[in-house]
Every structure is written in structure tokens, then in C-alpha cells.
């Protein structure tokens, strides 16, 4: 399944992407450096190095192939709902961003789910 996720070329990283001390920022930059097209989805709405971040998946200029959840699972639930509405089928939960409830919610929407593994290790 990891290989299937690697083939997805457009991603959204969801979390405190604008905060350089947070893993969301590190993952966002890691994915960009690996050649992926990556959109920063940051609930705070703060800029990232002068670039706009997006508060919602609905605000993105295009639908990503996959999303990487780097956010508290309670806060992340709404993004799973948005992803389902937009038809996003691939969700990667970083360690700590998953809970039984949010993973089951994604699965119930018919999404392909990865959890318990870090994108930066697997890619």
C-alpha cells in the first residue's frame, strides 16, 4: 500500500504547517523536496514563508490525490469529512494524528488509509 501512496503526485499536508517547529512543516518541506506538489492546509491560516496556507481542503486550487494528516485527531475529523465530500480517496495519518474513531470514519467513507507509519521514513 505504501507504493500506491508514493504514486500520488499531489498532496495536502494538514496541520500546523506554518510553524517551523512542528512536524507538519517538516513533512510539507520533505514532500516538496521529494518532487511532490504539496498544498499547506493550516487551520491557523498563517502564512508559510510568505506563501498562503489554506484553512480548508475546499479552498485548494485543485483536488489533491492524497492528504497527510499531521493534526490532533479530534481537530482532524472535519478534514476527513471534507476529503470525503471532495472525493479524496487516500489518507495518511502520521503517528499521533490517528485515533480509532477518525481512522474508522475514513474507512467508512471508503478511503484507503495508512497509519502507524511516518511519510518521512517510508518515502
Cell 495518511 locates to 92
90 — pLDDT class (breaks 50, 70, 90): very high
Instruction: Give the burial class of 118: count Cβ atoms within 10 A of its Cβ; 0-12 exposed, 13-18 middle, 19 or more buried.
Output: middle
CATH label of the domain that carries residue 113:
3.40.50.720
pLDDT digits (tens, 9 = 90+) for 27-48: 999 999 999 999 999 988 888 8
CA atoms 55, 112, 109, 77: torsion sign: negative
Residue 17, all three cell numbers: 504547517
Q: How far apart are CA 17 and CA 71, in angstroms?
A: 10
User: Which pLDDT does position 67 carry in this prediction?
Assistant: 98
Q: Measured between alpha carbons, how far apart are the two ends of the chain, in Å? A: 12
Buried-exposed string 13-30: b where 16+ CB fall within 10 A, e elsewhere: bbbbbbeeebbbbbbbbb
Q: Given this model, what pLDDT does residue 41 score?
A: 95
pLDDT over threshold 90, residue 50: no
What is the total count of domains within the chain? 1
Q: What is the pTM of this model?
A: 0.94
Task: Print the domain residue range for 36.
Answer: 2-122
Q: Where are the alpha helices (DSSP H) in 8-72?
A: 23-33
Amino acid at each position: 500500500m505504501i507504493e500506491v501512496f508514493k504514486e500520488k503526485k499531489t498532496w495536502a499536508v494538514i496541520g500546523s504547517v506554518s510553524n517551523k517547529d512542528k512536524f507538519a512543516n517538516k513533512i510539507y518541506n520533505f514532500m516538496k523536496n521529494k518532487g511532490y506538489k504539496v498544498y499547506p492546509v493550516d487551520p491557523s491560516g498563517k502564512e508559510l514563508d510568505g506563501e498562503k496556507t489554506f484553512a480548508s481542503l475546499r479552498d485548494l486550487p485543485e483536488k489533491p490525490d492524497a492528504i497527510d494528516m499531521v493534526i490532533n485527531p479530534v481537530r482532524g475529523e472535519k478534514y476527513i469529512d471534507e476529503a470525503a465530500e471532495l472525493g479524496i480517496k487516500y489518507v495518511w495519518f502520521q503517528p499521533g494524528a490517528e485515533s480509532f474513531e477518525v481512522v474508522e470514519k475514513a474507512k467508512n467513507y471508503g478511503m484507503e488509509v495508512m497509519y502507524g507509519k511516518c511519510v518521512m521514513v517510508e518515502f
